[in-house]
Chain A
Amino acid sequence: MTIMTSPETITPRRSFLRDNPSVLWFMGLLGLFTLIVTLLSEGMGMGVISTNLVKILGMTLCLCLIAIAMDVVWGYCGILSLGHFAFFGLGGYAIGMWLMYARTEIVIRDSLGRGAIPPTEREVSEGVASQIFGVVGSSELPLIWSFAGSLPAQLALVVLVPGVLALVFGWLAFRSRVTGVYLSILTQAMTLALSLYLFQNDTGLRGNNGLSGLQNIPGALEVPQAVISVWFFWASALALGLGYLLFAWVVSGKFGSVIRAIRDNEARVRFLGYNVEGYKLFVFTLTAVVAGIAGALYYPQAGIINPAEIAPIASIYLAVWVAIGGRGRLYGAVIGAAFVSLLSSWLTGGGAPNVDLGLFRIVWTDWWLVLLGLGFVAVTLFFPKGIGGLFDYLVRKQP
């Protein structure tokens, strides 16, 4: 089953793969990893890896996907966006609406169907609304839930909402030549506005509570989570593989040269006659869409999405991952996201033993963020190439 991500089946251009051996390496490793996890999983294999861990690994793959998107927009194109986690969240919300609505609709139809007369469509939708919004003191289905019952529509929204938002925002920003740190701050403001907006109950997305119970997949309610977790792991691996391929292809050709040139000297590229704004807008929007897809795969595994996920700090962490992993190389972003997020959940999850120094006890849950922050400063100052930079040494040693 997992062979679907193996590189042989997807071969767009031979020369491209020959030029980018790292893509083959990555695909191979990802396929192998997927296979191992599947074989060891609780749902499909030997049960060495708990369902919980499968979920964590699947979510980590999604984080790797958004990290490579971030790497393309920042490491390659030079736009330090502090808004990509917002696109990630929007993707999650779009799919979450369907998951919640459809699951509740099954329950309601079942319950009303047991009555003496069949329910009207309006009664069903009111029943769903009072189930979903009863917990936030309302029973009306907001307008934005109009398509929540339809999976294709919500899947389209996973792509459309982040895409259109990025397009409009990017168009406004790039058009007025907002660049550099100004753009970063502007994207951060956008993220802040969005998370504040979603925090309101009036928004119709259940405010601070967000959408929950997303791990229950309508139509597969009887399937144990152990199996569902593997399904989502596969989907995440596939998405990461395809995303990696897509971005490797995007940054490898002439297009890649242009966006790197924009990063290095925007004015000069403009003088050469390139439509700089168009290129930037394309990269910004494309990465936003990929971020949305990553989010749509992430949150059904997490089980809950709420506005705190979108807070500006999340997007900053995203930048931290990419910087630590190594900017300007896709596998660097993957390493950074996987390494930092897994380390972080290990240390803050209480899994790591605390270090007793006699006078002082290092409690990792307390000190991890301090270390991360300072480590990040150190990386910025001393190792701008991040962990990925280590590979340069390896490669250089082999003639």
Chain B
Amino acid sequence: MKACLMLRRLCAFALIWQLILSPVMAQDESDTPLQDVLQTVQSEVANPSRGTVPAVLQALMAADAPGTVDFLRTWSDREVYERPADGLFFYATAEGSSLTLIDIDTGAEVATVTSRDVSQIRPNAGVRREIGASLVAFELTHPDADRRMAALASAARSPDPDQLPAIRAARAEEEDSAIAARMDRLIALLVARYDQDSTTRVEAIGALRGDVSTPARSVLNQLLATRADFAETLPEDVNIARIKTPGEDISLSAAYAVLVGADLAPAAPGRNAIRDALRANVVDGQVGGVPVHQLDNDADRIAAYQALEDAGIVPPLVTEADVADAVSQYVFFDAYLEPDAAVTTAAEAARSSTSLRVSGYQFLSLSLDALSLASIFFLAAIGLAITFGVMRVINMAHGEFIMMGAYTGYVVQTIIPNYTASLAVALPLAFAVTFLAGVVMERLVIRHLYTRPLETLLATFGISIALQQLAKNIFGTQARPVTAPDWLAGAIQINDLVSVAAVRVGIFVMAALFLLLLLYILNRTRLGLEVRAVTQNPGMAASMGINPDRINMLTFGLGSGIAGVAGVAIGLVAQVTSEMGANYIVQSFMTVVVGGVGSVFGTLAGAALIGSLQKGIEWFNPANTLAAQTFMVLFIILFIQFRPKGIVALKGRAAGD
């Protein structure tokens, strides 16, 4: 089926190619109107499917009516309509719900109808890919460089040896060096995969050594595709990839199942088959002489079955010895689909020389992910590091400050439609909003509870519950996005294996800036000095003329404000919900505690540790991300057992206790 599809497409393709190469033919367009040609394949055009479209393309190319290429493009763009009344096809211009139909051949306006009088033909992505591939030859020489690039991508997506001449021809004409380079690569890949000449292919495959790009690796993998097979003796004429020893490379039962599948061995009756056989052979309350009530265990069931077997009623049991014996008569192996051994050897060599680099890049990619996660954790936790770490105030509503920041970002975005401008407004505004919220909370609640840390914990819990519900009441429970501006929307692509979303880089930069800013404020400014003084000895600080109330208020505001900014940043990569704060609060406390309370560097170390740990566990168990989170929390609990003061433990008086 597939081969036939492929062939048909090849034919269509060859026809198009002929069309371009021979100008004589191209001038000598047939006079049949396109509509008439389309009517010969009416239902396939009206209901396009990947299975039928090659035939349509072939028919259209063969008839070669004027405007065929334009029709194909329009069809693919879903702008062709069918009028069910007479089955004719039209182009159309839409105005509201009414459509003006345009004749395909003459371009004349035919009629104005409603959308329900005609049906819009919507070729799916698979069909469009086929159409795109058939148009590659035309598009490759299109004056618009973007169109040429798109055509190349389309050709690469469905590689086809018949495209080679068209691409080679286009390459000769190509002036844009970037496009030319891509054409060269595509040609090389096509040669490696499809060329007739073995040495040319081996050479082309050699050139793919160390190439970590996805198309190159996929060509190698396709060349090395194998099928499992077996035979009585190893056949000479196949390209053997490896021989599988039963019991080692392939389990005995699997090997036996293969033989059963090929009708070379009797199927072993399983437990269910035995049960069904016994059930079918109950005679006078007995099966094979065993009373029915005894058949509630496997041993008696097998005995009864053997009795039936001896009577010749049921197929024989297959013992392990039978299995081993049957399997030993055959040799099991994997064979390459590619018959040319020279090619597969070269491809194996190329692949193994690439694999090391691939794992290297994969590790790099994972590390970048970990770095990105760590910078998010850091941003989420750094505000807490100030309030908890420096002031020793437990703020369980910290997560809700993150949420407030994120919602600020969302609200600003609904007011200012330009994403860049809204982001530029949202960041300082989020800081201001949460700074204020922090100050209000400090004044109203926390101030009264400085001597009672557990009560602070409780009171801020209350605030957290209230804020969360308030957010639900205002914004609803649906997740809201903070959309990144276009310049932050893409990815920074190092190669096909390593790419980082630009937003994540942005967040990393932001985290780094905040680290520096905070270090500067705490260590180099008057405020920082006063904060440290008040933290270490409020009484002494007050007697030196520092107003501890003011300092506490400002510090708390600063910590809260940073949480707000973090909220905007997190909103860019994840969803904004009323519960997002709760997702970060425990993690943030862990980050601070693991890193070492009271130290900005500690928080950094904590975030780095937790981020890389989580990614590490995810890598070991990629199928279950939830497990990674569980193990991480467990690890942290254990870690605190052994290093209760965290990674960066403060010493001396600053340690406080």
Direct contact of A and B (CB under 8 A): yes
A interface residue numbers (CB < 8 A to B): 80, 115-123, 169, 172-173, 175-178, 180-182, 184-186, 188-190, 192-193, 196-197, 199-200, 202, 312-313, 316, 319-320, 323, 366-377, 380-381, 384
B324 interfacial contact with A, CB 8 Å: no
Considering the complex, give the chain A residue whose CB is closest to the CB of B642. Answer: A176
Considering the complex, give the chain B residue whose CB is closest to the CB of A117. Answer: B295
Contacts of A370 in B (CB 8 A): 465-466, 469-470, 473
Give the distance in Å from the alpha carbon of A197 to the alpha carbon of B454 in the complex. 28
Known: A181-B454, A370-B469. A117 touches B462 (CB 8 A): no
A176: contacting residue among B454, B473, B627, B644, CB under 8 A: B644
For B58, the chain A residues whose CB sits under 8 A away are none
Is there an interface contact between B586 and A189, defined as CB atoms closer than 8 Å? yes
Q: Which single residue of chain A is at the shortest CB-CB distance from B474?
A: A366
Bound CA span A377–B447, Å: 13
Q: Is the CB of A196 within 8 A of B275?
A: no
Q: CB distance B586 to A369 under 8 Å? A: no
Contact A380 B459 (CB under 8 A): yes
Q: How many chain B residues touch the partner (CB < 8 A)?
A: 54
Which residues of chain A are within 8 angstroms of B287 by Cβ–Cβ distance? 117
- The 18 listed contacts between A and B (C-beta, < 8 Å) are A117-B295, A117-B296, A118-B292, A120-B296, A122-B298, A176-B640, A178-B644, A189-B589, A193-B630, A316-B465, A319-B458, A366-B473, A367-B469, A368-B469, A369-B469, A377-B445, A380-B458, A381-B448
Could you tell me the distance between the alpha carbons of A372 and B466 in the complex, rounded to whole angstroms? Answer: 7
B629 interface residue per 8 A CB criterion:
yes
A190 vs B271: C-alpha distance when bound (angstroms): 44
Residue of A nearest to B272 (CB): A123
Decide yes or no whether B641 CB sits under 8 A from chain A.
Answer: yes
B279 and A115: CB pair below 8 A?
yes
With known contacts A369-B466, A377-B463, A380-B458, A192–B301 Cβ distance under 8 A = no
**Which B residues touch A381, using CB under 8 A?**
445, 448-449, 459
Q: How far is the CB of A243 from chain B (nearest CB, A)?
A: 24
Contact B297 A120 (CB under 8 A): yes
Flag if B462 contacts A380 (CB, 8 Å): yes
Whole-angstrom CA separation of A377 from B440 in the bound complex: 14
Cβ–Cβ < 8 Å partners of B638 in chain A:
172
Chain B residues packing against A (C-beta within 8 Å): 271, 275, 278-279, 282, 287, 292-293, 295-298, 301, 394, 445, 448-449, 453-455, 457-459, 461-470, 472-473, 582, 586, 589-590, 593, 624, 626-627, 629-630, 633-634, 636-638, 640-642, 644
Chain A residues within an 8 Å CB radius of B624: 200, 202
Query: What separation, in Å, do the CA atoms of A374 and B444 have in the docked complex?
Result: 12
16 A-B pairs besides A117-B275, A192-B586 with CB distance below 8 A are A116-B282, A116-B292, A176-B644, A189-B633, A193-B633, A196-B630, A316-B465, A320-B462, A323-B458, A367-B473, A370-B466, A370-B473, A373-B466, A374-B462, A380-B459, A380-B462
Is the pair A118, B296 in contact by a Cβ cutoff of 8 Å?
yes
Kindly provide the distance from the CB of B643 to the nearest chain A CB, expressed in whole angstroms. Answer: 9
Known A189-B633, A323-B458; contact A374-B295, beta-carbon cutoff 8 A? no
Contacts of A323 in B (CB 8 A): 458
Q: Are B641's CB and A180's CB within 8 A?
A: no
Inter-chain contacts of B292 with A (CB < 8 A): 116-118
Minimum distance in angstroms from A295 CB to a CB of chain B: 21
Inter-subunit contact A176/B641 (CB<8 Å): yes
Please indicate the chain B residues that have their CB under 8 angstroms from the CB of A178 in the complex: 640, 644
Q: How far apart sit A319 and B582, CA to CA, in the bound complex (Å)?
A: 17
Report yes or no: B634 in contact with A366, Cβ–Cβ below 8 A: no
Q: Tell whether, in the assembled complex, residue A377 and residue B586 are in contact, meaning their CB atoms are under 8 Å apart.
A: no
Contacts of A368 in B (CB 8 A): 469
Kindly identify which residue among B297, B394, B466 contacts A181, using a CB–CB cutoff of 8 Å: B394
Contacts of A116 in B (CB 8 A): 278-279, 282, 292
Give the CA-CA distance A115 to B292 in the complex, in Å.
Answer: 11
- Given contacts A120-B298, A200-B626, A380-B455, is CB(A189)–CB(B461) below 8 Å? no
Selected from A202, A312, A377, the residue in CB contact (under 8 A) with B627 is A202
C-alpha gap A369/B469 in the complex (Å): 6
Instruction: Kindly list chain A residues whose C-beta atoms are within 8 Å of the C-beta of B589.
Output: 185, 189
- Complex interface: chain B residues within 8 A of A123 (CB): 275
CA distance A196 to B636 in the complex (A): 14
A284 → chain B closest CB, angstroms: 15
* List of B residues within 8 angstroms of A200 by Cβ: 624, 626-627, 630
Give A193 to B590 CA distance when docked, in angstroms: 12
| A192 vs B629: C-alpha distance when bound (angstroms) | 10
> Please, which residues of chain A bring their CB within 8 A of the CB of B275?
117, 123
Q: Roughly how many angstroms separate A251 CA and B582 CA in the complex, as a whole number?
A: 35
Residue of A nearest to B467 (CB): A373
Q: How far is the CA of A398 from the CA of B304 in the complex (A)?
A: 86
> Which residue among B287, B453, B454, B465 has the maximum number of chain A CB atoms within 10 Å of its CB?
B465
Q: Are A186 and B626 touching (Cβ within 8 A)?
A: no
Which of B445, B457, B582 gathers most chain A CB within 10 Å? B457
- The answer to whether A373 and B293 touch across the interface, beta carbons within 8 angstroms, is no
Which residues of chain A come closer than 8 Å to B298, judged between CB atoms? 120, 122
Residues of A within 8 A of B458 (CB): 80, 319-320, 323, 376, 380
Q: Roughly how many angstroms separate A173 CA and B639 CA in the complex, as a whole number?
A: 11
Chain B: CB-nearest residue to A185: B589
